[in-house]
Amino acid sequence: MTNILFIMCDQLRHDYLSCGGHPHLKTPNIDALAARGVRFDRAYVQSPVCGPSRMSYYTGRYVASHGAIWNFVPLRVGERTMGDYLRPLGLRTALVGKTHMAADEATMALYGIAKDSVEGVHLAECGFEPYDRDDGIYPPGFTEKGKKTGYYRYLRDKGYDTDNPWHDFANAAERQGGGTASGWYLANAPLAVRLPAEETETPYMTRRAMDFMAEAGDRPWCLHLSYIKPHWPLMAPAPYNAMYGPEHVVPAVRDGAEKQAPHPVYAEFQSHPESLNFSQDKVRETAIPTYMGLVKQIDDSLGELFAFMEEKGLMQDTMIVFCSDHGDYLGDHWLGEKELFHECAVRVPMIVVDPSPEADGARGSVSHALVEAVDLLPTFIEFAGGTPPDHVLEGRSLLPLLRGPAGRVPAGWRDMAVSEFDYSFRRFARETLGRDVDECGTTMLRTERWKYVYCDGFRPMLFDLAADPDELNDLGGDPDHGPVCASFQARLFLWMRQRRRHVTISRADIAAWTDKAMGYGIRIGFWSEDETVRGRPDETSTP
């Protein structure tokens, strides 16, 4: 049996776990996972925003390759996803929670792929069997979408019978004096949502994961357990809403210098409401304790899940991954939300437990290797006994790091992590910066020493992570750092040349071609039959 439990949180910072260094937030169950496996403390997502990050996780390919450049961009038919690789290896591949997948319905219709066929469902659900698909965010305009979820039916069956119980009960509180205090507004963050904790989203999803595991029987599985928290709305049930306070809020990493002549794209994000708000201590002290409470609730819930798995004897056969789709600024660098490339946004928690005996030597260790989200899919494929197709997948299996001596980085491991972000969806792109839709790309290259961010049409951003680990001093406009920037632009060029484009033919088949062609009897440019006797066609045939 080889199972894979692929746990993802949404918007969870790498440093909001006790094993990730948080001084106050205790996450013993996630810490225990790290103690059983390897914690990668240099893990990066391929885009610091939900949709494209997840599409990279699920395809094992960079955004430049899969093309789903931002949220709500359908993943094109033809991009293979996790289930497409794992099902043939015998793993039932299912989903509980969020993927942010948007189906390429136009192409499915063009090809006559029925939405209710097995293939159609898999295509629409990013390769997963949708055991309980739930993207977890239901503003008024998504109310009808929310009604299709299992969580909606669960709440309705419990008597929470409004049009949008996700909002009204799980993400809103009673206002003092009556009425609803919505979780959409940060001022309301300290209030307890109307539901008891066990009825909120996180425990619900955990129970659904348990249902799946109980039901799966002897057949190997890969379960993507994808929590929406601690993504906004920031509101938690009792006691989590009150578990932390201003005294537990880690000071913001920011400096006035960052507001002096900031990079134009950075400047725009600084002006957004979430940035202006999270730059205020009052807002941080109000909202972050709730963020912490939501993380704590996840840790508690995972404790129950792991206990359940122990009881069922699943731990010895199951690879477990714990990660996030991106981080959260929470006021660092005068920003809120995500989408730029500071560590707090683009670096994520990444814990991998490999149950195999070969992994015993590295258990409980921390790896500083540069790891990317696209590494998970080849890891899963190898773990399940397959061979990752390296003409399609752009990451690398982590098994050599999991099964080697603790902390060892294999020869030839990457020295640079890459992430991409496109701000074309933002109105400021056109109205303030005057950029065309296809001129809003940014690409981060992160080595041990440097973080370089190429920005279409602008100077780059550059941080010296040795001298300035807090990334407060953007050297991208400094002429003295011109050569460093130029060398990174050159590396970006080479990286772009190396994208995996010939997805329909393997490297091995390419290498084997000439012999095959000769076997077919293709004879190009020969004067007479005598020449074919003399030698192979693409060798020098002069005597």
The contact pattern for a second copy, residues 350-389, with x = CB under 8 A and - = no contact, is ----------------------------------------
Q: Which of 388, 441, 460, 476 binds a second copy (CB under 8 A)?
A: 441
Pairing type for strands 318-324 and 3-9 reads parallel
First to last CA, the chain: 60
Pairing type for strands 417-422 and 129-133 reads unpaired
By beta-carbon proximity to a second copy, the closer residue of 38 and 113 is: 113
Determine the interface stretch with a second copy among 177-185, 256-264, 291-299, 308-316 (rule: CB under 8 A): 177-185
**How far apart are alpha carbons 435 and 532 in whole angstroms?**
58
List the 221-226 sheet strands across, edge first: 129-133, 92-97, 221-226, 3-9, 318-324, 350-353, 38-40, 365-367
Phi first, then psi: what are they for 422, rounded to 5°? -125, 120
Length of the chain, in residues = 543
Q: Is 474 left (phi over 0), alpha (psi -120 to 50) or beta?
A: beta
**How far apart are alpha carbons 156 and 152 in whole angstroms?**
6
Determine the interface stretch with a second copy among 66-74, 148-156, 237-245, 468-476 (rule: CB under 8 A): 66-74
Look at residues 136, 121, 201, 194 and name the one whose alpha carbon lies nearest to residue 162.
Answer: 194
Q: 185-224: which residues touch a second copy (CB under 8 A)?
A: 185-187
Phi first, then psi: what are they for 222, rounded to 5°? -125, 120
Q: Which of 116, 405, 529, 533 binds a second copy (CB under 8 A)?
A: 529
Q: 3-62: which residues touch a second copy (CB under 8 A)?
A: none
Determine the interface stretch with a second copy among 348-356, 363-371, 466-474, 532-540 (rule: CB under 8 A): 532-540
The contact pattern for a second copy, residues 279-318, with x = CB under 8 A and - = no contact, is ----x-----------------------------------
By beta-carbon proximity to a second copy, the closer residue of 299 and 420 is: 420
**Residue 425 in the binding site for a second copy (CB under 8 A):** yes
Strands (E), 213-327: 221-226, 318-324
Q: Find the shortest distance in angstroms from Cβ 268 to a second copy.
A: 8
Q: Find the shortest distance in angstroms from Cβ 435 to a second copy.
A: 11
Pairing type for strands 38-40 and 365-367 reads parallel
**How far apart are alpha carbons 189 and 298 in whole angstroms?**
17
**Residue 487 in the binding site for a second copy (CB under 8 A):** no
Q: What is the DSSP letter of 76?
A: P
Binding footprint of a second copy, residue count (CB under 8 A): 96
Q: Which of 166, 221, 278, 383 binds a second copy (CB under 8 A)?
A: 278
Q: Which residues of 250-266 are buried (b: 16+ CB within 10 A; e: fewer)?
A: bebbbeeebeeebbebb
Q: Find the shortest distance in angstroms from Cβ 387 to a second copy.
A: 15
Tokens standing for residue 43:
């893990």
Q: 119-138: which residues touch a second copy (CB under 8 A)?
A: 119, 123, 137
**Residue 513 in the binding site for a second copy (CB under 8 A):** yes
Q: Find the shortest distance in angstroms from Cβ 363 to a second copy.
A: 35
Q: Which of 112, 179, 479, 483 binds a second copy (CB under 8 A)?
A: 112
Neighbouring-strand partners of residue 69 = none
Determine the interface stretch with a second copy among 35-43, 268-276, 296-304, 309-317 (rule: CB under 8 A): 268-276
**Residue 144 in the binding site for a second copy (CB under 8 A):** no
**Residue 526 in the binding site for a second copy (CB under 8 A):** yes
**Residue 430 in the binding site for a second copy (CB under 8 A):** yes
Q: Which of 151, 212, 232, 458 binds a second copy (CB under 8 A)?
A: 232
